[in-house]
Structure 1
Amino acid sequence: MLEQQEDRSRDRTAVELFAGGGGLAMAVERAGFRPLLFNEVAKRACETLEANGAKERGDEEWIPEPGSPWPLFSRDIRTLDMRYLSGKVDVLAGGPPCQPFSLGGIAKGDEDKRNMFPEMFRAVREIQPKAVICENVVGLRRKSFEPYFQYILNELSFPYLERRPDTTWQEHDRLLREYDAALKDGRAVDPSGGFELYDVLATTVNAADYGVPQVRNRVIIVAFRRDLGVDMKEFMRSVRPTHSQAALIRSMRDGEYWERHPSVPDHVRDRVMAGLPKQASLAIEDGLLPWLTFRDALAGLDGEPSLPPVPWEHLDRKERYLGGVTNHIGWPGARIYKGHTPNELDRPAKTVKAGVHGVPGGESVMLTDDRFRDSTAPGGWAYRHRYMTVRETARVMTFPDTWVLEGPRGEQMRQLGNAVPVRLGEVFAKAVASALDKAGDAP
């Protein structure tokens, strides 16, 4: 189940749209926001949410009491009327489907029917939350999509200026820009006193810079209702990176990293150390923690136990509850090929991807510490590789081992690839909670 907060001075509330497998929802709840509604349409993702505490609500509109199951609307968001939540929500969170902007997809952008940003805008109009957290792929910042990206920020700033059905987004964007200019130079006055306007910021982040053992570049958009008077500059300072690659390399050079992992074979350590960049190329920033690696994730974060290795004879798709956890299942057929290099244990994992057809080939392959003689390999040795298990993948997405994932392996991997890493989402959700507190907001 989502982790209940035992000591809340405020009953903060949240709505999660496009919830997927629950990464951002879990992050927002950990930050002290009680969920009032989930929306997700994918069948297996809905099963995952229900397995972790949500309950299908159907057509009935109801607001849960603290400790009650969280309502799940499992149909097309375009059929969901959210006006019953108006004035009751502190944070609206969600990651609209990213395929329209993904570098790995067709990238039709705003012309793609899967673009759900218009529904995010509608939700803001109907709910009028105090804050909005929106996550998406870094492809949204591609040069070809930049005009539409700026339109997203403008629409979130003035959500009540609804786009007419007979206008293009470019025409509506022009109206929004003109209104913004008129407000700034005094030619227009906001009749709501800021209650329906939002201060919006967007930042591009690498999840590894926030304690996630994975290189994952994303765009995070945060908006605060203007009447609350949130200090946006202070908020940006509160979400600055906390970890760095340079600090990881330094910890390897001074031995601290290897002290945490004393069982690493000498040949692995020697190989990793030989591949480190030269000292002169590092920009050391004092106060930043080392990036966490794939090996760190397997050893356990947040008090989790170490995951045991998968025996080579167990690559047979059978669940054996290795280490007492589920979904730690060996899978056959892993291969390395051009353009799909494997994950290495002593680096952050590569970006976990959903894949068009589930597990995306070599992207979910890992090198192990086991090696064998190979005269064609450098040094005469080659390292064995296998597919990452679902549980290992969940670890690098910072999902707790207690989180239940439903569906076959491919669907579980798809849910993880589409999710927001819990630790990354938690950093921003906690910063939003703090900003609301400092603004003197009353829930």
Structure 2
Amino acid sequence: MNTLSALEICAGAGGQASGLERAGFAHALAVEIDRDAAATLRLNRPSWQVHEGDVREIDGRDYRGVDLVAGGVPCPPFSVAGKQLGADDERDLFPEALRLVREARPAAVMLENVKGLASTRFADYRGQILRELRDLGYEADWQLLFSSEYGVPQLRPRFILVAVRRAKHAFEWPAPTGTPPTVGTVLGAMMAQGGWGGAPRWAAQANSIAPTIVGGSKKHGGADLGPTRARAAWLALGVDGRGVADAPPSPDHPADHVPRLTNPMVARIQGFDPSWQFSGRKTSVYRQIGNAFPPPVAAAVGGAIRAALGAASGSARQTQIA
């Protein structure tokens, strides 16, 4: 399978990057401003060129001809928690992404954000982005995808923009892959690693997909699994969502213990490969994981982009969540 090149901005801890890698893309550059997240990228892929800094520091002309410009641009401008300021929010990096597209002229573009960007109040903003891309010669479209439709054990809706300029085939959004595994199926073995006797019973109870993992911002307090409603949903699955544990339950915990997830467990819920490691302290690691784009979804969309560009599809590195 021939490898395509990618320039990724706002790469975070590598959720989108590792998914695109599964789909057969090699990173010419990954840009990430957070120190710990950039360290995570280097830890897992020492061969990647990682720019630790602001995307505004990158000149797209240095990457002219790259196959794909991708990124998970910051979601606060379009999220309820971020007050949905949109283009008036200084954290809105869509203009910078479009600048890089103008300068690099990639064959394709893939940008993802929260479902809030799909709301009516941002219709003009979305239309403006589509017009700019079409003026540059791209066929572009937005789509709301649910991560659960691609093997990820949480709903996690993501609003994704794909634009293709040198397509050999019409771009088609990836078809759902079937019923997602349950939280118990995905985490049962991990919950039993410490010798807790209640793990089989817990896994049987956790028989649904998870609420959407929330990473939060640096202004947020310690690591927890979200606001009150999310914590109630976690509790229905037998999980204490008020924090993140350092280790799985031990043999000393009673059978009816309500455990907290560890960071490696949260990473599995997000669809990261078990081999993917994270750099930083506990809360930083949780935020990196919680803010990530699930790799299986990125792999599915990346594979669809490859097909549109006429490249061989599918990667031997595809992995199952369960």
Distance 1:428 1:205 in 2: 10
Distance 1:383 1:202 in 2: 45
Question: Out of 29, 42, 47, which is 1:50 matched to?
Answer: 42
Shift of 1:103: 2.4
What are the Cα deviations for residues 197-243 of structure 1, in whole angstroms up to 9, with x where unaligned?
10001111111011111110111111100x435313xx13xx12222
Shift of 1:311: 5.7
Query: Do 1:213 and 1:296's aligned partners in 2 also have CA atoms closer than 8 Å?
Result: no
Q: Corresponding residue for 1:276?
A: none
Compared CA separation, residues 437 and 361, structure 1 to 2 (3 A): closer
SS in 2 for 1:350: coil
Compared CA separation, residues 203 and 361, structure 1 to 2 (3 A): closer
What are the Cα deviations for residues 302-344 of structure 1, in whole angstroms up to 9, with x where unaligned?
xxxx31437699xxxxxxxxxxxxxxxxxxxxxxxxxxxxxx7
* Larger relative contact order, structure 1 or 2 (CA cutoff 8 Å, min sep 6): 2
Q: Corresponding residue for 1:182?
A: none
Question: Out of 101, 124, 148, which is 1:147 matched to?
Answer: 124
Shift of 1:386: 3.0
Q: Corresponding residue for 2:290?
A: 417
TM-score of the two chains, using structure 2 as the length reference: 0.81
The answer to whether the aligner puts 1:309 opposite 2:182 as a matched pair is no
The answer to whether the aligner puts 1:231 opposite 2:170 as a matched pair is yes
Shift of 1:403: 0.7
Counterparts of residues 130-209 of structure 1 (less than 5 Å) = 130-158=107-135, 196-209=136-149
Q: Corresponding residue for 2:67?
A: 90
Distance 1:312 1:105 in 2: 41
What are the Cα deviations for residues 242-294 of structure 1, in whole angstroms up to 9, with x where unaligned?
22xxxxxxxxxxxxxxxxxxxxxxxxxxxxxxxxxxxxxxxxxxxxxx23211
Please, which moves more after superposition, 382-391 or 138-147?
382-391
Q: Corresponding residue for 1:302?
A: none
Query: Do 2:60 and 2:101's aligned partners in 1 also have CA atoms closer than 8 Å?
Result: no
Gaps of 5+ in 2: 197-204, 240-254, 313-322
Shift of 1:383: 5.8
Shift of 1:121: 0.1
Q: Corresponding residue for 2:207?
A: 346
Q: Corresponding residue for 1:190?
A: none
Query: Do 2:168 and 2:308's aligned partners in 1 also have CA atoms closer than 8 Å?
Result: no
Instruction: Give the letter for the 1:240 counterpart.
Output: A
TM-score of the two chains, using structure 1 as the length reference: 0.60
SS in 1 for 2:309: helix
Compared CA separation, residues 361 and 350, structure 1 to 2 (3 A): closer
Gaps of 5+ in 1: 1-7, 55-68, 159-195, 244-289, 300-305, 314-343, 370-381
Q: Corresponding residue for 1:274?
A: none
Instruction: Give the letter for the 1:134 counterpart.
Output: L
The answer to whether the aligner puts 1:297 opposite 2:186 as a matched pair is yes
What are the Cα deviations for residues 388-415 of structure 1, in whole angstroms up to 9, with x where unaligned?
1101100011111111111111111111
Distance 1:427 1:27 in 2: 8
Instruction: Give the letter for the 1:432 counterpart.
Output: I
Q: Corresponding residue for 1:127?
A: 104
Query: Do 2:214 and 2:225's aligned partners in 1 also have CA atoms closer than 8 Å?
Result: no
Counterparts of residues 243-258 of structure 1 (less than 5 Å) = 243=178
Distance 1:307 1:218 in 2: 27
Instruction: Give the letter for the 2:167 counterpart.
Output: L
Compared CA separation, residues 312 and 109, structure 1 to 2 (3 A): farther
Compared CA separation, residues 407 and 25, structure 1 to 2 (3 A): same
Distance 1:156 1:148 in 2: 13
SS in 2 for 1:307: helix
Query: Alpha carbon RMSD of aligned pairs, Å?
Result: 2.4
Compared CA separation, residues 110 and 11, structure 1 to 2 (3 A): same
Shift of 1:435: 1.7
Query: Do 2:216 and 2:291's aligned partners in 1 also have CA atoms closer than 8 Å?
Result: no
SS in 2 for 1:70: coil
Question: Alignment length, in residue pairs?
Answer: 281
